[in-house]
Amino acid sequence: MKKTIHFFVILAIAMIVSCTSDDSNQDAQNNSNLQFEVIVDFDPNFLEGISMGMTNSVTENSLYISSRDDYPLVAGTNREQIIKLNPDNGSIIEKQYSNSDLITKRLFISDNQLISIGGQFVNTYGLDIINDPITENHQKLLSGFTTANEKNTTFIIGGDFTGSNSDKIYQWNLSNPQNFIEFATLPESRYAASGIIANDNLYIFGGSTDRSLNNPSDKIYVIPLGAPDVVQELSMGIAISETFAHNYDNNIIICGESSDGNSIIGIFDTVSEQFELVEHNLSDIKPGHKIGQMTILNNKLYLVYGFVESLSPPGTGLNSEWSVLGVQLN
């Protein structure tokens, strides 16, 4: 009798695991060909768009995009630009705040506040972005770093400006912004490698070993939150120098540009630990443009898509053109 009970227990567990895996595979199949549409075209040079941040708010039904704004030049300062976009009607609210900082911006929402982490400062805005933020110097020099969030803890991934600690991952909390607690050490330096928390693991995708993003990686690092000394290494099968990622059901959607300039979208199944490329129509919509950020709101994938180039001679300005694209996920 005991053997019979054990058999049915094992069979039931196997069926549950199989169903979970099948559900994840079905999600990937349903989203295997993404046909994006233009949500809004920003005016030329409205968004400079280098090392942007992006997040969303369900309660505000809004997308938020952050960037550093250098032009027109103002002696001794640059500005943080925050854009709030309603994807249903295309309405835009813009906030500029004079806050000289390094170029990388990362956004997330915590306790109904919009948090913008830059290379030296952390700025806290209301979700309406009307008033100037509360700003604090976090006393690090960061460039090309990324963030991943788990409840009240933020993980700062790589991106040390000096290069000396770019293999480090730190735990960080807004309540004590100068306190960076070392969490894990990666096998090599990482810049612009997006991280996601799922299934009690920190997943880190691609990125580059140098700040100029000239050495792209195809690696996926999997770090258990409860055992950060254990770093599992997987592969996407394609190197992406700057990645953007977001959870979606049991999957993680990853975007970026390949070394030959093609826009890449892939789905990583956290159950099977398989990465699959997704077909899309990006090159048909905006030939020659690239992915600059991404987020998912109400089962819809949004991309910031465009380009930015420096004018000649250097320091005279930028030429940029960005759009927000969207596609419904299944």
Cβ within 8 Å of residue 12, ≥6 positions away: none
Alpha-carbon distance values, 220 to 191, 194, 254, 262, 319 (Å) = 13, 10, 11, 20, 34
Asked if pLDDT for residue 13 goes beyond 50, the answer is: no
Report the percentage of the chain scoring pLDDT > 90: 79
Q: What mean pLDDT is predicted for residues 128-152? A: 95
Mean pLDDT (the chain) is 90
Specify the fold of 50-282: Neuraminidase (2.120.10)
Lowest mean pLDDT, pick from 66-75, 101-110, 249-258: 66-75
Number of H helices, E strands in the chain: 2, 25
Q: Which two tokens stand for residue 210?
A: 């140098």
Q: What ranges do the domains of the chain cover?
A: 50-282
Q: What mean pLDDT is predicted for residues 41-56? A: 94
Distance of CA 186 to the CA centre of its chain: 19
Q: Residue 5: its pLDDT value, please? A: 37
Q: pLDDT tens across 181-207, in order?
A: 999 999 999 999 999 999 999 999 999
Q: pLDDT tens across 84-93, in order?
A: 999 999 999 9
pTM of the model: 0.90
Pairwise pLDDT comparison (152 vs 204), residue with the higher score: 204
Q: Residue 313: its pLDDT value, please? A: 76
Q: Cβ distance 220 to 207 under 8 Å?
A: no
* Dist. CA 109–CA 152, nearest whole Å: 10
Q: Residue 28: its pLDDT value, please? A: 58
Cβ within 8 Å of residue 75, ≥6 positions away: none
- What is the CB-side half-sphere exposure of residue 308 using CA atoms within 13 A? 23
Q: pLDDT tens across 217-228, in order?
A: 999 999 999 999
Q: pLDDT tens across 274-303, in order?
A: 999 999 999 999 888 999 999 999 999 999
* Dist. CA 275–CA 279, nearest whole Å: 13
Q: Cβ distance 133 to 148 under 8 Å?
A: no
